[in-house]
Amino acid sequence: MNNKPDVSAAEPKSTEGKQTAMTNQHASATGQHISSQVETGPWDSSLDQLREWDPGWAEACARMSMNPWASGVLPRKLVELIGVALNAACTNLIPDATRRHIRAALAAGATKDEILLVIKCASVLGLHSCSFAVPMLLEEAKAVTVTPAQRADEPATPSVDKMRAVGQWNVAWDPLFDLDPVWTDQFMAIGIDIYACGVLPPKDIELLSIAFDASYTHMYAPGTRRHIKNALKAGATVEEIFEVLKLCVSHGIQACNLGVPILAEELANRKVEP
7-111+199-269: CATH topology: AhpD-like (1.20.1290)
- As a whole number of Å, the CA-based R_g of the chain is 22
- Contact 239/73 with Cβ under 8 angstroms? yes
- In this prediction the pTM is 0.82
Is 264 in a helix, a strand, or coil? helix
Tens digits of per-residue pLDDT, 207-259? Answer: 999 999 999 999 999 999 999 999 999 999 999 999 999 999 999 999 999 99
- For 191-215, what is the mean pLDDT? 93
List of residues 6+ apart from 259 with CB closer than 8 A: none
pLDDT (average), residues 40-61: 95
> Average pLDDT of 103-121?
97
| pLDDT for residue 17 is more than 80 | no
Q: Tally the C-alpha atoms within 13 A of residue 45's C-alpha that lie toward its C-beta.
A: 11
Please classify residue 210 by burial: count the beta carbons closer than 10 Å to its beta carbon, then call 0-12 exposed, 13-18 middle and 19+ buried: buried
Residue ranges of the chain assigned to CATH 1.20.1290.10:
7-111+199-269
Question: 100 and 4 in contact (C-beta within 8 Å)?
Answer: no
Alpha helices in 110-157 (DSSP H): 112-124, 128-143
154-188 pLDDT, tens digit per residue, is: 899 999 999 999 888 989 999 999 999 999 999 99
